[in-house]
Amino acid sequence: MPMLNRPRRNRSSAAIRTMVEENRLSVKDLLFPLFVMDGSATKTEIKSMPGIYRYTTDLLLKEIEECLNLGITSYALFPQVAEDRKDSRATESHRQGSLYLEAIHAVTSRFPEISMLTDVAMDPYSSDGHDGIVRGGEILNDETLEVLAKMAIAQAQAGSKLIGPSDMMDGRVGYLRESLDDAGFTNVGIMAYSAKYASAFYGPFRDALESAPKFGDKKTYQMNPANSREALREAELDELEGADFLMVKPALAYLDIISLLRDNTNLPIAAYNVSGEYAMVKAAAANGWIDGEKAMLESLLSMKRAGAQVILTYFAKEFAQLKLS
């Protein structure tokens, strides 16, 4: 049977497969989310996220040092806030001397060479567990922006060079950009959670922060999983308002959205490989149903292939250790 074209020739050996592979995953593509908590000399494993811990600030610094030695240079930091520090206006989020601001200062002072994304959203600090101010059961958009601006400026003062507004309030990127600029922080970047979906994959993260909503859900501000064109609208607005990165969250269930944004902007695209996606792989691997290491690599590569230039993933340290082994 005469065939001039035989694609299998380019798959015939490991050397040829490596030579022609279209996407290569590097530890430099990865951003490692970390959790900080009150106390000292303590770390606690998050049960729904095997291998992932909350750290007190002193141990957080040691963890980052260890990860730096593995080649991980980018991080995201999230706080577990005590219940007695929470209120309806998230005042703890911008209080000088708070756990999170002190942790940001400690990390950025000790490791000025790293990139650290800091989180701008009310839910870890809110007694309502929502990303905005609640009144009469409604999430208020414009009043929330004032709180987010205070938070962003406080984080910049603590040493943050890259903020991540994860709240999905309308107009927040422009409001934060203007507020940061007016406060003299023109060099602080914004990684906008542009297409953040109302997803079932966030459960373990909310366990880690103990930040689940006290009532209802987040569907009036996070996006409908049925929609893709709406993501273009959100991304376009964020870009026009001054975002430096556009993020898709979650990642694995939204590869089409990553690709869609990649094809419609020149800004870097970030993808958040969220807690539930991580937990599924870990649970299946623990039961012997899949090869966890291969599933991790395939999942991360799919995000890179879809167009993500930055991948936020709880697999970052495991990936880095694998590459050095």
Which residues does the annotation place in the binding site for Mg(2+)? 234
Catalytic residue among 86, 218, 249, 304: 249
Q: Is 196 a catalytic residue?
A: yes
Q: Which candidate, 228, 83, 246, 242, places its Cα nearest to that of 176?
A: 242
The secondary structure of residue 87, as a DSSP letter, is B
Q: Which candidate, 31, 131, 129, 45, places its Cα nearest to that of 81?
A: 129
Structure-block tokens of residue 307: 């167009």
Q: Is 169 left (phi over 0), alpha (psi -120 to 50) or beta?
A: beta
Distance from the Cα of residue 301 to its chain's centroid = 17
**d(Cα 30, Cα 271) in Å, to the nearest integer?**
10
Q: Summarize the annotated binding site as residue ranges.
A: 234
Decide: helix, strand or coil at residue 66.
helix
CA distances from 236 to 35, 38, 93, 256 (A): 31, 38, 28, 17
Measure the CA dihedral 23/314/299/281, to 10°.
160
Q: Is 218 a catalytic residue?
A: no
The residues near 248 (Cβ < 8 Å, ≥ 6 apart) are 194, 195, 231, 254, 257, 258, 261, 269, 270, 271, 272, 308
**d(Cα 216, Cα 213) in Å, to the nearest integer?**
7
Catalytic residue among 150, 196, 282, 304: 196
Structure-block tokens of residue 57: 């600030």
Structure-block tokens of residue 318: 């495991």
Residues known to be catalytic: 196, 249
